[in-house]
Amino acid sequence: MRLVLINVILFIIAVTGCSAPPPEQKPDASKILTSLQEEINKAVKGIEPSLVYAELSGARSVSSMTGMVISSDGKILLPTYLSRIGVTERVQVYLQEKEYEASLVQADDRLKISIVKIQTESSLSAVNLGNAYLTQPGQFVIGVVNGGKNNDFRTFVDVGFIRGMSDDAEFDQVYSLGLTVNPGAVMLTLDGKVIAAQLKGSGTSDYARTKPEGWIISNEIQKCLSKLLAKSSSEKEKVSEEEKQKVRPWLGFGWSPINEDYAEMTGFPKKSILVRYVIKNSPIEKDGLRPDDLILEVDNKPLTKIGSKALEQQFIKYIDPEVDREIIFKVLRPPEADKFETIKSRFIKKPETREFRAEDIGVVVQEITDTTLYERNLLIINGVLVNNVIQGSPASASSSGHNSMINRDDVIVEINRMAISNIDDFIKAIEAIRREKPAVILLKLAIGSRTSFVAINLKAGKK
């Protein structure tokens, strides 16, 4: 905090020195700093009851972040995209040193945020979201983050000032010097209103290929929260979290911004999106999109950004995936440089992928489809894909003490010398194991471009 105050003093000296008043009217720096310190303390004290510390526990890792209370009934915003909370994933929330188990309400894979809910006996204090568009360059701001378990959940504070604001094609952001970049940190004005948050999220999505990289303004956050909460309230109360997750918009193609050197060499537009693959029998294939097509417009809005990152973000914003939404692409079809096509398609619910949970081994596997092949960068289509490894199971045991015997994204292709071509073969092999009750089984795994044999001791692990 001492370093922060020194920086503030230097800033004040620089500002007041630019137009120095007569000696008799020189500002009292001590009074200014005292007043500023009081405003900072007041703003921090006001936000502390609305900040939580959260831990996300997966099959193989634990991540932590600051979250903020958005409603008095226990809804909390976390700066990460959660696809589900289940047996192998848990979210623990710590509020005023009390621990709570959180359930998933909704998640957005564009901003990479999730709304979770905890059950408390008393109502909570929600954050006050301000209007970031009213801020000015040079304005003092406060960065606040929950220090977590290792710091006894104390609040950590930085002081900085606003450099400016962007009108990015994807995320409107505010830029500041001197503030923390910890995930979930909030930016406050001196009157205690949240005008931005660090949403360095994680997770995967079919369309949101990028993620926020700075201070996302409160207006963007509020717009997203309103959409998620409206969606949540309109759903049937008894719909499970697993069912919610299955309703995902899908067209069935992969893409990336065109390589600028390739575009210059071929004469194709630099402001275009290259279609890398199209899934067989997907909506977009049936409507005529082909691999190597170049997308120039989305819903009659031309792509205008320069540079792969900006172009990527603009495309994500334009497609705005929603189930049953119609979308129109204007595409250029190589090798001709002047042959244009109009592709009309409609987002559908993403097809469900069959899964099977094998408690005997300790894995959750899924079938390998054309979609899975592309999305998970697999090299083979025969076998079953490991989605999760259950903690404390035989599959999670390790002779080296580091990696599990089986890991996510491994492909099981044999069990006890029995070929596994699909999920039905896998189920038959598991049924045989249950009948015969062997102490050890032999699995053949495809791991990227190599194969490996592992012996699983079914007596290992805690069931």
Digit-by-digit pLDDT tens for the chain (463 residues) are 555 555 555 555 554 444 455 556 667 778 888 888 899 999 999 999 999 999 887 656 778 899 999 999 999 999 888 876 654 468 889 987 788 989 989 888 777 889 999 998 889 999 999 988 888 888 889 999 998 888 888 899 988 888 887 765 456 677 777 677 788 889 999 999 999 888 764 333 333 334 445 788 888 888 888 888 887 766 544 444 445 455 688 999 999 999 999 999 988 999 999 999 999 999 999 999 999 999 999 999 999 988 888 898 889 888 888 888 999 999 999 888 788 999 999 999 988 889 999 998 999 999 999 888 888 888 899 999 999 888 888 988 865 544 678 998 999 999 999 999 999 999 999 999 999 999 999 999 999 889 999 999 988 754 4
The pLDDT of residue 422: 95
| Contact of 441 with 458, CB cutoff 8 Å | yes
**In terms of residues, how long is the chain?**
463
Q: Shortest CA distance to 207 belongs to which of 331, 366, 56, 350?
A: 350
| Contact of 263 with 227, CB cutoff 8 Å | no
| Contact of 169 with 317, CB cutoff 8 Å | yes
The pLDDT of residue 10: 55
Alpha carbons 203 and 393: distance in angstroms, whole number: 24
**pTM, to two decimals:** 0.51
Q: Shortest CA distance to 51 belongs to which of 182, 185, 171?
A: 185
Q: Shortest CA distance to 355 belongs to which of 389, 386, 377?
A: 386
The pLDDT of residue 303: 94
* Residue ranges per structural domain of the chain: 28-239, 249-349, 355-457
The pLDDT of residue 211: 44
- Alpha helices by DSSP H, listed for 174-293, are 218-234, 241-246, 260-266, 283-286
Q: End-to-end CA distance of the chain, in Å?
A: 49
- For the domain spanning 28-239, the CATH number is 2.40.10.120
Same fold: 28-239 with 249-349: no
- For the domain spanning 249-349, the CATH number is 2.30.42.10
The pLDDT of residue 57: 77
State how far the alpha carbon of 189 is from the alpha carbons of 50, 142, 238, in Å: 15, 6, 40
The pLDDT of residue 390: 87
The pLDDT of residue 242: 47
Half-sphere exposure of 17 (CA within 13 A, CB side): 6
Q: Does the domain formed by 355-457 have CATH 2.30.42.10?
A: yes
Q: What angle do CA 429, 433, 435 make, to 5 degrees?
A: 115
Alpha carbons 200 and 184: distance in angstroms, whole number: 8
Alpha carbons 255 and 132: distance in angstroms, whole number: 33
Place of tokens 């999920």: 423
